[in-house]
Amino acid sequence: MIFQSLLAPCSILISLFASANGIPTTPTVNKRAELDAWIASQTSVSYFGILANLGSAGEKAYGASAGTLLASPSTHDPDYFFTWARDSGLVFKALVDEFIRTGNTELQIQINDYISAQAKLQTVSGPSGSLSDGAGLGEPKFNPNNTAYYGVWGRPQRDGPALRATVLIAYGRWLLENNYKSAAADIVWPIVRNDLEYTAQYWNQTGFDLWEETQGASFFTTAVQHRALVEGIKFAGSVGASCANCESQAPQIRCFLQHYWNGKHVVSNTNLTPDPGRTGKDANSILAAVHTFDPEAGCDDAGFQPCSPRMLANHKAVTDSFRAIYPINSGIAQGSAVAVGRYSEDVYFDGNPWYLTTLAAAEQLYSALYQFNKAGSLTITSTSLSFWQAISPSATEGTFPSSSSAFAALTSAMRTYADGYVAVVQKYTPESGSLAEQFNRNTVGGPLSASDLTWSYASFLTMAAARNGFVPASWGAKDATSLPSVCAATSATGTYSPATNTNWPDFPCTPAKLVRVTFNALAKTSVGQNVWVAGSIPELGSWDVGKGGVRLDASRYLEAMPLWFGSKTLEAGTAFEYKYVHWEADGRVIFEGGPNRKYTVPTSCRMGASVEGNWQ
């Protein structure tokens, strides 16, 4: 048991689909633009980046089932063409918050697909176990067709069920507020119940952390587990159920959470087997503050809220740990933003900064600013003083009301500091706006590791939402502040059953006028050949490739799956004929054989569709 052994020693998302005005072309990013303009443009790119990785109609998601979110379209060096419970939960929480804020019906369709896919995944038995005793819910990674992955991996990972519960509870609350109680009770709750039972039963067992490298106790995992159980109690009651295990275990998890604090910063991983000898300064802790942010909770130290003295001190300790080890941070003074990685001892892909961790450093500060402004005051303690003096050297301990000049100066300095982290990401984002997993620690700063990382895109969106004051709903942190007088190593054995109902109501939606159609062609080619789509309508060149055909992308081409893919936005209901075409290096155009292919763009509320076929 992890506890026992320790005791012994959204948003600014642009609602591109909120109306039926169509699907705009993904914009390119002008890196010389002012930060505000760049953020607006990159928001669009990031939103499209998520949808491209979402099965089954996403442009880069060929082979993924409906509602299944790929970590990345990268299939080699590294191969991330899988779906992770954690990544999917974090991304879909951002999408659910955006749906709640805007009423975007296209997003709701995707959310429903995701929830239906998760109901199936809960029943998939694999290396971690099965649903019968809940153990299978700790399996972190699945094939894109929602089958078990049996390769060697760091398992179990115990954050996925808690994060999924949080997503579904947020959507479930919307269903209840909009008179869809049966959907909340009969579709959402059975899935949530399994995840809450798992969390209550296994929270005190070791597992692999969110970086999937070390087995032990993870601050991030513990924090999101506490959140899930707290919000699960209220949600259960709202659908006429109960969660006794949530009620018994949530206070003990909060109690255990305190053991990660060493007086100066969070020790993000403890009880590691084997112990790699790390400092414990890890972006794991900053991500925990971001994903357990409650706009109603204030600066609760025991809850590790973004504005709490502990988490501001921790922010400084973690981000400072990267100042001296990355050449791209060379010469950047204290109090100015730097590129942020996972932890200073990292060696994965040579241990580089990550887009999502650098963005999280900004997001924590934006969330803290919201909390200060809501409270109407700001308090500097001996714990947080070093953080404040780094960004405002004249800062002193005390409480400063929002009407004071000190409050204005301190919050302005914090916002400038937060913007600096976003500017770092802007500097090292390519012109296309594509966000990979990492960027080079050396002066070139170019993208590295997995391309188009879905989590990177979602992190950008949640950062932008926080920066603009769009906050998620409270999850009840302010009412869950009590700590047991004595912490105990406990758990509560759960009961589990498949969630079989995925029959969604007929929600009102906006019919799509334009649909982004993705063509997936399986065509073996040789060096110098390219594959295009030519067809009978002007958008496809009226059979003339040079006048408007669609050039397909071979970035996922494999000998076993010679995939070429690309998209075109077309009017719903358009009927046309088309063929795949080889455009040779010498300029010759060779049409595939056989009869013309025929397709009619669907007329529905979905704004994406896909077709596939082998070269004839």
- The answer to whether 44 and 460 are in contact (CB under 8 A) is no
- The answer to whether 166 and 93 are in contact (CB under 8 A) is yes
pLDDT at 19: 31
**Confidence band of 444 (pLDDT split at 50, 70, 90):** confident
pLDDT over threshold 70, residue 25? no
What gap in Å lies between CA 471 and CA 372, rounded to an integer?
14
The answer to pTM > 0.85 is yes
What is the CATH number that goes with domain 514-614? 2.60.40.10
**For residue 418, what are its two tokens?**
């937060």
pLDDT over threshold 90, residue 186? yes
Q: Is 564 annotated as a binding residue?
A: no
> Which residues pair with residue 576 across a beta bridge?
599
Instruction: Indicate left, alpha or beta for 263 from its phi (over 0: left) and psi (-120 to 50: alpha).
Output: left
pLDDT at 1: 52
Cα–Cα nearest to 607, from 10, 11, 12, 15? 15
**Helical (H) or strand (E) element with 516:** strand 514-522
For residues 254 and 29, the model is more confident at 254
Q: Is the peptide bond before 274 cis (omega within 30 degrees of 0)?
A: yes
**For residue 73, what are its two tokens?**
């379209």
What does the pLDDT average to over 141-147? Answer: 98
For residues 309 and 277, the model is more confident at 309
pLDDT over threshold 60, residue 298? yes
pLDDT at 548: 85
**For residue 170, what are its two tokens?**
């947020």
Q: Domain coordinates of the chain in residue numbers?
A: 2-479, 514-614
What gap in Å lies between CA 52 and CA 49, rounded to an integer?
5
**Confidence band of 415 (pLDDT split at 50, 70, 90):** very high
pLDDT over threshold 70, residue 4? no
Longest dimension (CA), the chain: 79
pLDDT more than 90, % of the chain: 88
Q: Is the peptide bond before 251 cis (omega within 30 degrees of 0)?
A: no
> Which residues pair with residue 282 across a beta bridge?
343
For the stretch 78-109, pLDDT in tens is 999 999 999 999 999 999 999 999 999 999 99
pLDDT over threshold 70, residue 590? yes
Catalytic residues: 209, 212
What gap in Å lies between CA 88 and CA 434, rounded to an integer?
19
Q: How many CB atoms lie within 10 A of CB 55?
A: 24
pLDDT at 443: 83
**Helical (H) or strand (E) element with 127:** none
What does the pLDDT average to over 586-612? Answer: 94
Architecture of domain 2-479: Alpha/alpha barrel (1.50)
Q: Is the peptide bond before 9 cis (omega within 30 degrees of 0)?
A: no
Q: What does the DSSP assignment read for 242-258?
A: --HHHHHHHHHHHHHHG
pLDDT over threshold 70, residue 422? yes
